[in-house]
């Protein structure tokens, strides 16, 4: 089982693969396929829970789904995403909430959507033994302020991301997610850091890539411009569900082999 230290060592040597998962069967498939990191992302808000943003996702939802993912995962590193306002309100509450993911859900690390307010918190969590994956660029928990627009597109904004990346590395983060930023900014951040960068909509020069599993499977009805559907699971699910409906409606399911008869129960009255 890789540790956060193993992942750090992969920077610049071999591409790191990361996917989200929100349940045990999906995590098992991802793990068997040899993906390095499974992120129990707060993207579950949109991808699994029917919300139109990540803001309503609760600590308990991430905790219970992280526990399910961890139970089904043997090899990959499991990272729990800290949902909106589960960190940053007060230090003690942030530490307790992050600790819960390791203590009760068996996560290997937590991810924080970062800004200047998370530098000290990262240091504190790392000191306590809670590995931190930082996340900069588009941070969907700030959707009310930024929308889903590409970030770091001006020189000032790009420099701020680079400075924050360095500050979080110094504070002890073991990896950095860069979301929806220009590829040339991501390349410079990657070159400036020793810890691995994992990009989503950040070009080819990051040390690894992450996507949301429902986009990869072709289960989402819409995918962001930087993602690709690698399958068409939605059509296959629809086909299976329609086949079931038709079999029940047509009297073909259940067949004799799907049930059993106790002869002595015949003619009860
Ligand atoms: O919540 C999530 O799935 C994420 C990834 C898109 C990086 O933060």
pLDDT digits (tens, 9 = 90+) for 25-65: 999 999 999 999 999 999 999 999 999 999 999 999 999 99
Q: How far is the CA of 239 from the centre of ligand 1 (A)?
A: 29
Q: What is the mean pLDDT of residues 203-219?
A: 98
Tell me the pLDDT of the chain averaged across its residues. 97
The Cα–Cα gap between 62 and 185 comes to 31
The Cα–Cα gap between 96 and 246 comes to 51
Q: 4-231 belongs to which CATH class?
A: alpha beta
pLDDT of 103 reads 98
- In the predicted structure, residue 1 carries a pLDDT above the cut 80: no
In percent, the amount of the chain with pLDDT more than 90 equals 94
Active-site residue, from 61, 113, 169, 179? 179
Q: What is the mean pLDDT of residues 231-251?
A: 98
Burial code (b: 16+ CB inside 10 Å, e: under 16) for 94-104 equals bbebbebbbee
Length of the chain, please? 269
In percent, the amount of the chain with pLDDT more than 70 equals 100
Q: For the chain, which residues make up each domain, given as ranges?
A: 4-231
pLDDT digits (tens, 9 = 90+) for 138-172: 999 999 999 999 999 999 999 999 999 999 999 99
* Atom 3 of ligand 1: nearest residue by CA position: 41
pLDDT class for 221, splitting at 50, 70, 90? confident
Residue 54: phi and psi, rounded to 5, are -90, -5
C-beta separation of 166 from 197 below 8 A = no
Say if pTM beats, i.e. exceeds, 0.85: yes
Is residue 14 part of the annotated active site? The answer reads no
Burial code (b: 16+ CB inside 10 Å, e: under 16) for 211-245 equals bbbbbbbbbbeebeebbebeeebeeeeeeeeeeee
Q: How far is the CA of 212 from the centre of ligand 1 (A)?
A: 7
């Amino acid at each position: 089982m890789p540790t956060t230290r193993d992942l750090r060592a992969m920077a610049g040597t071999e591409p790191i693969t990361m996917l989200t998962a929100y349940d045990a069967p999906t995590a098992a498939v991802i793990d068997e396929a040899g993906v390095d990191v499974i992120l129990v992302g707060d993207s579950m808000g949109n991808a699994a829970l029917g919300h139109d943003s990540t803001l309503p996702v609760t600590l308990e939802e991430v905790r219970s789904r992280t526990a399910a993912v961890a139970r089904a995962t043997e090899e990959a590193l499991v990272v729990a995403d800290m949902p909106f306002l589960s960190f940053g309100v007060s230090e003690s509450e942030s530490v307790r909430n992050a600790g819960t993911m390791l203590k009760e859900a068996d996560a290997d690390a937590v991810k924080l959507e970062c800004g200047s307010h998370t530098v000290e918190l990262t240091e504190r969590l790392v000191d306590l033994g809670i590995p931190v994956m930082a996340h900069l660029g588009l941070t969907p928990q700030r959707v009310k302020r930024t929308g889903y627009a590409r970030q770091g597109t001006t020189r000032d904004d790009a420099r701020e991301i680079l400075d924050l990346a360095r500050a979080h590395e110094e504070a002890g983060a073991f990896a950095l997610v860069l979301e929806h930023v220009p590829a040339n900014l991501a390349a410079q951040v990657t070159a400036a850091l020793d810890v691995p960068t994992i990009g989503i909509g950040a070009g080819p020069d990051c040390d690894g890539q992450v996507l949301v599993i429902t986009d990869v499977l072709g289960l989402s009805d819409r995918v962001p411009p930087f993602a690709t559907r690698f399958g068409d699971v939605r059509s296959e699910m629809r086909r299976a569900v329609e086949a079931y409906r038709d079999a029940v409606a047509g009297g073909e399911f259940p067949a004799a082999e799907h049930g059993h008869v106790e002869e002595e129960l015949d003619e009860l009255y």
